Structure formats: structure tokens, C-alpha cells
Amino acid sequence: MENRPRYELRPYLVIWNATLGIFSIFGAVRVVPTLIYSAKYNGKEYTLCSSLDTMDVNEFWGCMFTFSKVLELGDTLFVVLRKQKLIFLHWYHHTTVLVYVWYLSPHTPGFAQWFMGMNFTVHSIMYNYYALRAMKFHVPRFISMLITSLQLSQMICGFVLTCMAFQLNLKGVKCGDSYQQIMYGMMMYVSYFVLFANFFYKNYLAGKPKLSNAETSHRKKRS
């Protein structure tokens, strides 16, 4: 790819992001209300510890969610083909989520439905935002900041939920097939929080580095 020209894939990128955005909206609309209802009438232990195999709606969307993580690798393909910078956060996040979701999939623990609900909700905003950007709509900067803030909140909630599942296990309530499922989830969410926090700081809080006189002159000649 190094010596090849970048591919102009904007129309395909619009369709790709819009499709994932609409899919995420449907997922959020189906999973989140079911989750809230279950938490209200069955309690937190049920939603955290009961397998998705016992919940018809979330079992179906659990399968859809799992397969969607394979499709989302297409994001990385677009980055490579368009010769954009592929940051560590991007490929690490996609790869580890895919591995973890498929690791949980044989007997998906209840706390995974919380992960699904949060992920569908954030992605319903994020992918539609990307679709608008691909269509060259001007989207205010604060929307991008909001999306990253939601992702950070998702990582905090995910870590708290895995801690709750771990505490329930210590009390003798079986949450998941093994402690490894919970511990891997904890480590995953901590690493995501650190990376997303660093991304937020560099992109929205840190000031732009000052250019030297030579760099300023060079930019003026190119403009």
C-alpha cells in the first residue's frame, strides 16, 4: 500500500457508517428497554449473572452484536485503503473487543448485556456522526467531544459492572463461567479508559504545538 495512491471511498464510507449507525440504533432500542425492565423487576443480580440464553430478545441481539464486531474491522480497512493514520487505539480497541466478545459468546454472562446496551447506544451516535462527516456535513466540534466523553463514561461503567459481578462471585452468586471472564473484562476496560482519556486530552485539551519560523514559512508557501 505504501507506493499505491490512496483510494477515494467516500460514497462507500457513507453507506458503511450509516448502515452500522442504523443497526446500532435498532440494537439499542431492543436491548436497553429490556435491560431496564429486567433490572427493575428482577434485580441487579439477575441482569448481571443470568445468561443471555434465558432472555429471548437479548439472546438474538447478543448474536448480532458478536457478529457485528467482525464487521467493524472494516473500519480499519477503510483507514488503510484511504491511507489515513492508523492509531494504536483504533486497531487495539477493535481487535480486543472482537476477541473478548467471541470468548464470552458460548455462554454469554448477564453482565455482557450491559456491555451490549452501552455499546449499541454509543455506536448509534458515533457511526451516524461518521456518516455525516463522510457526506461532508459540518458537524460542530462539541459533538466529537461528546462522543469521546460517552466512550469514557462507557469504560467507567463497564469497569464498575465487572467489579460488581466479581463481588457477587465472592458472595457465592455465580456470575459468568469463570473469574477469568470478569478479570479480562476489568483489564480491558481499564486499558480502554487510559487510551480514550489520552486521546481526549491530545485532541481536545492540549494546545497545538507552536510552529517554528521555518515551518510557518513552509506552510505559507504551500497554501
Q: DSSP of 4-67, one letter per residue?
A: SPPP--HHHHHHHHHHHHHHHHHHHHHHHHHHHHHHHHH-HHHHHHS-GGG-HHHHHHHHHHHH
Q: Per the residue annotation, which of 93, 107, 123, 138 is the catalytic one?
A: 93
The Cα 24–Cα 92 span in angstroms is 21
Specify whether the backbone of 172 is left (phi greater than 0), alpha (psi in -120 to 50) or beta.
left
The answer to whether 218 is a known catalytic residue is: no
The owner of cell 446496551 is: 117
Active site residues: 93
